[in-house]
């Protein structure tokens, strides 16, 4: 399997058999509303928010799934004091968050060029690899009429690295590429040795990613139009 840097500069997507897409910040312009959904879920269920809590959400978003992020928030002293004795506070936060996200997804914009990009490469197999709730994503994709675009939609039932590893063991010999916007996407792609395209415009970790990998060895695009 070739390394990521072997593919720098290659623009012909037809060279690939499979494209893995992250969801938030790649398919949908959804990173910001998901951060807001964490904040609003906490306010609704605790009647409280502070700078430490908001900073915790920003620091962990994109690196951990929703359960882990809420667990980190609930471990903060001021939040822990306020929810002491509250039955199943984590479950209530998750339910609120899911409801907010679903409604927001229905109104979210696709990233520029996504629809045209999908239509241009009908023979390439496309998969979603996301840390979001898998059932929620399937419902959203069905409602937004893109469910049948993808061979499969993978959510948070397994870590991204495990999803890619299992796929490549099962489907050997396929030339794959990952389009993502986060450190977790980059690390997952690198862990299995497939090339990575950094979709930068809506990334909330663009600075961190560019500090890890030099601009010369990171394939960066501003929209799907650059890949057509």
Return mean pLDDT, the chain. Answer: 89
14-18, 62-66, 172-176, range with the lowest pLDDT: 62-66
202-212: pLDDT as tens digits: 998 878 887 77
Region 143-154 average pLDDT: 96
Q: How many CB atoms lie within 10 A of CB 59?
A: 12
pLDDT digits (tens, 9 = 90+) for 24-72: 999 999 988 999 999 999 999 998 999 999 999 999 987 788 999 999 9
Average pLDDT over residues 94-112: 94
- pTM listed for this prediction: 0.86
Predicted local confidence at residue 3, as pLDDT: 41
- Residue 1: DSSP 8-state: -
CA atoms 97, 142, 24, 71: torsion sign? positive
Q: What is the pLDDT of residue 90?
A: 94
- Please report, rounded to a whole number, the percentage of residues in the chain having pLDDT higher than 70: 93
What is the predicted pLDDT for the residue at 11? 56
With bands split at pLDDT 50, 70 and 90, how would you rate the model's confidence at 4? Answer: very low
**Phi and psi angles of residue 152, each rounded to the nearest 5 degrees, phi first:** -160, 150
pLDDT at position 192 is 94
Token match 């396929």: residue? 174
Query: Which residues partner with 152 through β-bridges?
Result: 127
Q: Which two tokens stand for residue 13?
A: 């997507």
Cβ(35)–Cβ(73) below 8 Å = no
In this model, does residue 9 exceed pLDDT 80? no
Sheet harboring 18-21: ordered strands across? 152-154, 125-129, 18-21, 176-180, 196-199, 219-221
Instruction: Dig out the tokens for 106 from the structure.
Output: 């229905």
Question: What integer is the mean pLDDT of 10-26?
Answer: 89
């Amino acid at each position: 399997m070739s390394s990521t840097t072997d593919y720098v500069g290659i623009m012909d997507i037809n060279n690939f058999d499979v494209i893995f897409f992250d969801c938030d910040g790649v398919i949908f312009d959804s990173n910001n509303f998901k951060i807001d959904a964490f904040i609003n879920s906490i306010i609704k269920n605790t009647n409280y928010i502070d700078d430490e809590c908001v900073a915790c959400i920003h620091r962990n978003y994109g690196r951990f799934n929703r359960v882990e992020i809420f667990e980190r928030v609930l471990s903060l002293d001021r939040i822990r004091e306020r929810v002491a004795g509250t039955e199943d506070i984590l479950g209530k936060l998750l339910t609120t968050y899911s409801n907010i996200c679903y409604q927001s997804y229905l109104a979210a914009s696709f990233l520029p060029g996504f629809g045209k990009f999908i239509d241009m490469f009908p023979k390439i197999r496309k998969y979603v690899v996301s840390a979001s709730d898998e059932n929620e994503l399937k419902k959203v994709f069905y409602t937004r009429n893109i469910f049948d675009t993808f061979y499969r939609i993978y959510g948070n039932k397994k870590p991204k690295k495990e999803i890619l590893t299992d796929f490549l063991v099962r489907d050997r010999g396929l030339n794959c590429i990952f389009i993502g916007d986060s450190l977790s996407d980059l690390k997952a792609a690198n862990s299995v040795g497939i090339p990575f395209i950094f979709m930068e415009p809506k990334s909330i970790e663009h600075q961190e990613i560019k500090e890890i990998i030099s601009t010369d060895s990171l394939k960066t695009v501003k929209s799907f139009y650059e890949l057509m």
